[in-house]
Amino acid sequence: MTVPTARLVVPGQAGPVDELPAGPQPAEWARAIEALAAAERPLLICHVNPDGDALGSMLAVALGLARIGRSCQATFPGRFFLPALFDGMPGQELLVPASDCDQAPDLVVTFDAGNTERLGELAGRFGTASEVIVLDHHASNTFFGTVHLVDASAAATAVLAEELLRRMGIPLDREIAECLYVGLSTDTGSFKYGTTTPEVHRLAARLLETGIRPEVISRRLFDNRPFGAIGLFGEALGRARLDDRVAGGLVWTYATQADLARHGVPYDALESLIDVVRTAAEADVACVLKELESGQWAVSLRSKTATDVARVSVALGGGGHRYAAGFTGTGSAEEVLGQIVALL
């Protein structure tokens, strides 16, 4: 399939930063809406280890379908577990464990997944679906569905979810807006990244107009660590290193399973460590290695300006965006870091 391309100018940058695929064409939207209108058993799937955007965009669409009297199932691959920061998020009653969900959906919609690996065992559920609608904003999206609502210039999949609901004539209400706000605020780093366009703020304004409380949502998402995480962050930050072999500087650290056990905190408390590490002014690139099991690391990469960390992550078997990306690394922390440095 050939994808039309358009120049994207990121505000605040010197000029066009990338050749990105153009957003979805009107015919793609029409086909998606027609398929959703006809489906009797749609299955909504977001990526493994859901983040705010994956879960938020999926639950917003699930709630939207419920509002117009349509039933659907929403799920994600792997362990049926959500970190505490998603407690109280609307629409969770529509979630079904992957093992219990419809074996023969007549429509599949995927959220925030750039490829089928991110859908784990659920990638095998496409066979009975007349259409597979892919909602996503990863430049690396492999166009694995039949209808692609993919826009690499979108700040979040939540942006595409809102457009889908709007085009379906489903009004925003407080619950839907809260889900979309979770997606939008997490994927823009609380409206800090270069993807934060005027249109992003206009969308945020429309969401706030429903009466959602940004201070309550933000506290739950970002100011909600167990006390043990403060000690663990202190240790991990204390051993952070600044590496100037990399142009623009690289700041990095790691946290092990032993660290988690010693401080008595769950793994998901590590998600926000990168947000502190990346504040080092001397570094354009930040990296945190989070030990999954011995010799296996979930690697988070962030860049502020020049470096495209998606390129590095894709080369190492992962994915992501220019400014926020990740992959699973194997070896010692130093070895994985060496692989990153070699690509930077």
Are 97 and 80 a contacting pair, CB within 8 Å?
yes
Question: What SS3 class is residue 1?
Answer: coil
**What is the pattern of x (binds ligand AMP, CB under 6 A) and - over residues 12-51?**
---------------------------------------x
- Choices 58-66, 191-199, 232-240, 322-330 (CB under 6 A): range interacting with ligand AMP: 322-330
Task: Closer to ligand AMP by CB, 36 or 312: give it.
Answer: 312
What is the number of other CB atoms lying within 10 angstroms of the CB of residue 263?
A: 20
Distance CA 201, CA 235 (A): 36
Q: What angle do CA 300, 306, 141 make, to 5 degrees?
A: 55
Select the binding partner of residue 175 from Mn ion, ligand AMP, none (C-beta < 5 to 8 A, by kind): none
Question: What SS3 class is residue 143?
Answer: coil
Are 122 and 75 a contacting pair, CB within 8 Å?
yes
Residues 58-87 interacting with ligand AMP (rule: CB under 6 A): none
Select the binding partner of residue 325 from ligand AMP, Mn ion, none (C-beta < 5 to 8 A, by kind): ligand AMP
β-pairing, 73-75 vs 42-46, is: parallel
- Nearest-approach distance from CB 82 to Mn ion, in angstroms: 14
Give first-to-last CA distance, the chain, whole Å. 30
Residue 328 binds ligand AMP, judged by CB under 6 A: yes
Beta bridge partners of 17: none
Residue 136 binds Mn ion, judged by CB under 5 A: no
Residue nearest to ligand AMP (CB): 326
Beta bridge partners of 297: 291, 329
* Residue 218: both structure tokens together: 């933000």
Select the binding partner of residue 54 from Mn ion, ligand AMP, none (C-beta < 5 to 8 A, by kind): Mn ion
Interface residue with ligand AMP, options 252, 283, 327, 333 (CB under 6 A):
327
30 Cβ neighbours under 8 A, 6+ residues apart: none
Distance CA 319, CA 144 (A): 15
- Nearest-approach distance from CB 221 to ligand AMP, in angstroms: 13
Interface residue with ligand AMP, options 23, 183, 189, 318 (CB under 6 A):
318
Interface residue with ligand AMP, options 43, 159, 251, 325 (CB under 6 A):
325
Residue 187 binds Mn ion, judged by CB under 5 A: yes
Are 209 and 176 a contacting pair, CB within 8 Å?
no
**What is the pattern of x (binds ligand AMP, CB under 6 A) and - over residues 273-302?**
-x-------------------------x--
Provide the binding-site residues for Mn ion, judged by CB under 5 A: 51, 53-54, 112, 157, 187
Provide the binding-site residues for ligand AMP, judged by CB under 6 A: 51, 118, 138, 274, 300, 318-320, 324-328
